[in-house]
């Protein structure tokens, strides 16, 4: 769930702030391996499922990824998939392990890309997945390169949604699928005594957060050339999952051996509680969709 922006040669101050929001340690790979050992895992024989508590950096975790796989359907070994905002690689490794697809993960944070490569090798999938630092609003892939473009919790940090979705359209093959799972602006407007709560998992402050409504998103995708196949509001499921996460945090005194707090550090509890508050007050909603790329021949 990370921002995809320009590289360090042309990065703006907002992008630097977002990159720093996600980057916490140059030794993140070692930290994760050590945490896995503390849970009793044999780090020399790791599986994709062993990594699920740490590498599914989005609301509802592995459950959300598995549900999206069912929605898009018919994933084939010869498919090429682009995961935009790939983080440390959880969804891409899950898809590759189940279906044998070839997957490229694209992310701003070099640290995340490096860890994703380490974990892919640990679970024996480095022949199917690759991770690259890059810009989702200026992708360096040929047109019509991918059968599937997949994105979970990435758009919230990207201001130019038109460029983001246009790039996804260009790299998709005709009749290819765009799979979207994101947080969007809710119906509630900020007013005196009722404002959006920060920090949240994707942003420490308003300068990092660029939410638009589900209505604007769907219209934009249609205008670009996508045909909507599926659209589902998942806010209720997101809230229930978040409530359960808060219960686990409280039961474990906030310090389970491994989890998303391993990525986000000591502010993770506050981020989750603020996200729940924003859901409850209507500032954000969660939705998922599948779209077909329609290209004129």
84 near 92, Cβ under 8 Å?
no
Q: What is the pLDDT of residue 256?
A: 66
User: Considering the domain boundaries, does residue 154 fall inside one?
Assistant: yes
Domain housing 75 = 13-186+211-236+287-293
Domain count, the chain: 1
CA 71 to each of CA 67, 83, 100, 232: distance values in angstroms, whole numbers, following the listed order: 6, 16, 18, 11
| Mean pLDDT for the stretch of residues 226-232 | 98
User: Considering the domain boundaries, does residue 95 fall inside one?
Assistant: yes
CA 147 to each of CA 1, 13, 60, 201: distance values in angstroms, whole numbers, following the listed order: 21, 34, 25, 30
User: Considering the domain boundaries, does residue 136 fall inside one?
Assistant: yes
| Mean pLDDT for the stretch of residues 36-41 | 89
User: Considering the domain boundaries, does residue 94 fall inside one?
Assistant: yes
Distance, CA of 119 to CA of 123 (rounded, Å): 6
The whole-model pTM stands at 0.91
Bigger pLDDT: 199 vs 108 = 199
pLDDT higher than threshold 80 for residue 10: no
Q: What is the pLDDT of residue 31?
A: 87
For residue 127, count CB atoms less than 10 angstroms from its CB and return exposed for 0-12, middle for 13-18, buried for 19 or more. exposed
pLDDT category, 254, cuts 50, 70, 90? low
User: Considering the domain boundaries, does residue 72 fall inside one?
Assistant: yes
User: Considering the domain boundaries, does residue 196 fall inside one?
Assistant: no
Q: What is the pLDDT of residue 113?
A: 94
pLDDT higher than threshold 90 for residue 57: no
User: Considering the domain boundaries, does residue 252 fall inside one?
Assistant: no
Q: What is the pLDDT of residue 6?
A: 41
pLDDT higher than threshold 50 for residue 123: yes
CATH code of residue 170: 3.40.50.150
User: Considering the domain boundaries, does residue 242 fall inside one?
Assistant: no
- Indicate the helix (H) or strand (E) that contains 15: helix 13-22
Q: How far apart are the first and last CA of the chain?
A: 34
pLDDT higher than threshold 80 for residue 1: no
List b or e across 235-267, with b for residues whose CB sees 16 or more CB atoms inside 10 angstroms: bebbbebbeebeeebeeeeeebebbbbbbbeee
């Amino acid at each position: 769930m990370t921002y995809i922006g320009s590289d360090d040669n042309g990065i703006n101050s907002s992008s630097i702030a977002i990159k720093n929001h996600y980057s916490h340690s140059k030794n993140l790979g070692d930290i994760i391996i050590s945490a896995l050992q503390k849970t009793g895992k044999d780090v020399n024989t790791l599986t994709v499922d062993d990594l699920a508590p740490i590498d599914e950096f989005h609301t509802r975790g592995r459950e959300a990824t598995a549900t999206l796989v069912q929605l898009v359907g018919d994933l084939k070994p010869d498919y090429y998939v682009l995961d935009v905002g790939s983080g440390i690689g959880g969804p891409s490794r899950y898809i590759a392990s189940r279906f044998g697809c070839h997957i490229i993960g694209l992310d701003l944070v070099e640290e995340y890309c490096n860890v994703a490569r380490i974990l892919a090798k640990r679970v024996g999938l480095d022949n199917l997945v690759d991770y690259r630092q890059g810009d989702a609003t200026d992708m360096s892939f040929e047109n019509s390169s991918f059968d599937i473009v997949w994105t979970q919790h990435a758009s919230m940090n990207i201001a130019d949604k038109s460029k983001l979705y246009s790039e996804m359209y260009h790299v998709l093959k005709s009749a290819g699928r765009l799979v979207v799972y994101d947080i969007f602006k809710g119906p509630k407007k900020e007013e005196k005594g009722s404002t959006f709560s920060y920090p949240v998992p994707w942003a420490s402050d308003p300068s990092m957060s660029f939410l638009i409504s589900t209505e604007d998103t769907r219209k934009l995708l249609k205008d670009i050339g996508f045909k909507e196949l599926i659209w589902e509001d998942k806010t209720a499921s997101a809230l229930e999952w978040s409530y359960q996460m808060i219960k686990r945090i409280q039961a474990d005194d906030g310090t389970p051996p491994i989890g998303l707090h391993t990525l986000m550090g000591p502010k993770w509890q506050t981020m989750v509680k603020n996200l729940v508050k924003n859901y409850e007050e209507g500032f954000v909603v969660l939705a998922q969709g599948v779209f077909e790329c329609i290209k004129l021949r």
